[in-house]
Structure 1
Amino acid sequence: MSRLHAHVGTIRQLEILCALQEHGSVVAAARALHLTQPTVSMQLRKLSEAVGLPLYFQVGRRLQLTDAGREMVSSAREILSCFERLDMRLTKMRGLTAGTLRIAVVTTAKYFIPHLIGEFCKLYPDISVELKVGNREQIAQRMAEGLDDFCVFSHPPKKEEYLLTEFLPNRLVAIAPEQHELAGRERIPLEEFARAPFLMREAGSGTRYAIERHMERFDCELNVRMTIESNEAIKHMVMAGMGVSILSEHTWNVGGEAGIAILDVEHLPIKTNWYLARLGSKPVTPVAEALLEYVQREERLKGLKKVEL
């Protein structure tokens, strides 16, 4: 039997190394783990000494892992995942469902996922949740690395090893200022809408991805005036009369948005769906399995749809 485990450090040190890889600095890793910076630095130094190889190096303000560091992180995640699954299985045997649910969502999903998770946690109050938010490109990277139990997309990456569960409609609607010349008209030609100054989400956004694919389908080019990284900022820019846009209905507050008109444009809205995506090779924890069962019961989502749409 290999004796490597006798000198590769403690479980806590492996956890610290994983946090360093995810957050990019000792300060950020310490903050995420609720430890002091000197403690994190000392434990990382001890781990490097135990392995006998440098595990990271400085690039500007960020730390980058060496090849040895990346190998350590890959194995450390497997080890930590085994402990977590064991903990949840033992807890489940005691008649409880506890543990940590790790879920990463694209930006637009942040408007409704808290409601879904909130209701789920009422059923399992001992569960803790780690929620990450990013654009489609960032969440796709987390998906590829297997960092989370689930990732939430409207346009998930197409890979055979990804398992998808459709759970909620997602319509992208055309919007304009209430006093815009297109507001109140019926069946506006898509080409006419496209000539108006358009406010677009940033590259890597799922909303932008859907809009661009849709416009390609109808051989129509938008008059992009500005690129903006936030749905909220786009809504305020529309209210200020800076242009028109296309956003998910899930970005609205209950009752709509004052100062914004939803336009009746031909070939719109863009109809997509929300998916829970998971890596097929990643074992499903009891908590993740419970969430999957929860969202597959359609009646559980009726209240969510009423609140958000």
Structure 2
Amino acid sequence: MNYTLHQLQIFLKIAEKESITKASEELHLTQPAVSIQLKNFQDQFPIPLTEVIGRKLYITDFGKEIAIAAQKIVDEVNQITYKTNAYQGQLSGVLKISVVSTGKYIIPYFLSDFMKQHEGVDLILDVTNKERVVHSLEDNTVDFSLVSVLPKHLQVEKTKLMENQLFLVGNTSESFPKKKYKTAMLTELPLIYREKGSGTRHTMEKYIEQNDIPVRKKMELTSNEAVKQAVIAGLGYSIMPLIGIRNDLEAGRLQIIPVQGFPIKSIWNLIWLKNKKFSPVAQAFLKYVKENKDHIIKNKFNILND
């Protein structure tokens, strides 16, 4: 066998995405280039690594075993790089963070300068819903998680990043001239929800339950961006974090509807398992966040305080 590290990395990405198209996008390669490397890799094995049913690519059981072995090889190669950098006095290693979907508007600003200062650090950032974020933390597969709703069943430590404000929003086709509406108006509006497991949905349902509001659930969508586009299109209204809609408010695509009790406020927290043993990279990142968060918030998020 004469497979290359490059082929292992490409196969791992295909196995992760179960798609040559998605793998090529993430690897910044053309689809033909990825397909050729997969074929060259496959030619070295007598058993299929993948199979196509309909138009869907699946990883075979044998392929999954090879992917596990390939990941171990890639990890060991990365360790060589990290150890070399460490001997040269550079901070080196992997920083793993899981982030709830609306946190994608926040976490890059807390990572940008840190990553520029430490070129030997690799970042694995998983953006998903709250349920999966908590699972990754519980399984100890990440260093940190960014959430606005703290998990109750885990012992975690945290550092506060910034305030999270949620508003009732709609598109701009209708006028809401009153300075403040009663919460009862929510019973008249078709509401668009995030999927179960979302932190935004949890906050939204908690507010509705506390105020005993009978609401009309119009639809359920699996991302904040999908909810936002549905609201812009006039399919309904939703309760959304300000951090994810500020550009649409400025552009006049969305409007905040003034309702008693809004904004709903929570806190974005960077959390980690209690008694977790940090790698040097994780320790350095936490120190960086604590020392620089006030400066980052002031310079990058001052519009939220206007």
1:171, distance to aligned residue in structure 2 (A): 2.0
1:39 Cα deviation from its structure 2 partner: 1.8
| Aligned CA distance change for structure 1 residues 37 and 65 (closer, same or farther; 3 Å) | closer
Q: In the TM superposition, what whole-angstrom CA distance separates every residue of 1:111-136 from its partner, at most 9, and x where no partner exists?
A: 23332222323433555545554444
For each residue in 1:237-271, what CA deviation from the matched residue of structure 2 results, as whole angstroms up to 9, or x when unmatched?
65676543211021243795354443443443333
Q: RMSD of aligned C-alpha atoms?
A: 4.2
Match of 2:216 in 1: 223
Conserved in 2, the CA contact under 8 Å of 1:198 and 1:226? yes
Question: Contact conserved, 1:16 with 1:44, CA < 8 A, in 2?
Answer: no
Q: Classify the secondary structure of the residue corresponding to 1:246.
A: strand
Q: Aligned AA for 1:222?
A: V
Question: Does the CA-based 8 Å contact 2:10-2:37 persist in structure 1?
Answer: no
| Range with greater deviation from structure 2 (115-124 or 157-166) | 157-166
Instruction: Spell out, residue by residue over 1:41-81, the C-alpha distance to the aligned partner (whole angstroms, 9 max, x if none).
Output: 221442x44xxx65444333333334444444445445533
Matches within 5 A, 1:90-239: 90-98=84-92, 101=95, 103-125=97-119, 127=121, 129=123, 131-136=125-130, 150-155=144-149, 160=154, 166-176=160-170, 182-186=176-180, 188-203=181-196, 205-228=198-221, 231=224, 234-235=227-228, 238=231
| Contact 2:98-2:127 within 8 A present in 1 as well | yes
Q: 1:1-52 CA distances to partner (integer Å, 9 max, x unpaired)?
A: xxxxxx8976555434422221103454455444542222221442x44xxx
> For residues 159 and 71 of structure 1, what CA distance do their matches in structure 2 show?
33
Match status 1:265 vs 2:259: yes
SS of residue paired to 1:221: coil
User: Retained in 2: the 8 A contact 1:149–1:288?
Assistant: yes
**Structure 1, unaligned stretches of length 5 or more?**
1-6
Percent identity, please.
Answer: 29
Cα distance in 2 for partners of 1:220, 1:83 equals: 56
CA distance in structure 1 between the partners assigned to 2:38 and 2:56 by the alignment: 15
Deviations 1:140-161 (Å, cap 9, x if unpaired)?
Answer: 6776787765543334666648
1:254–1:192 CA distance, 2 compared to 1 (3 A): closer
Matched-pair contact (CA < 8 Å) for 1:183–1:261:
no
Q: Taking structure 1 as reference, are residues 71 and 91 closer, same or farther at Cα in structure 2, changes over 3 Å only?
A: same
1:291 aligns with 2:280: no
Q: Is 1:43 the counterpart of 2:6 in the alignment?
A: no
- The Cα of 1:207 is off from its aligned counterpart by 1.8
Per the alignment, residue 60 of structure 1 pairs with 54
- Unpaired runs of 5+ residues, structure 2, are none
Query: Contact between 2:149 and 2:199, CA under 8 Å: does it hold in 1?
Result: yes
- 1:302 pairs with 289, 297, 302, which one? 297
Contact (CA 8 Å) 1:102, 1:131: kept in 2 or not? yes
TM-score with structure 1 length normalisation?
A: 0.71
Equivalent position SS for 2:246: coil
What CA distance in whole angstroms lies between the structure 2 residues aligned with 1:279 and 1:78?
25
Check the 8 A contact 2:157/2:271 in 1, yes or no.
Answer: yes
CA-to-partner distance for each residue in 1:249-306, whole Å, 9 max, x for gaps? 2124379535444344344333323244568999855444432322233434433442
Q: How many residues align?
A: 298
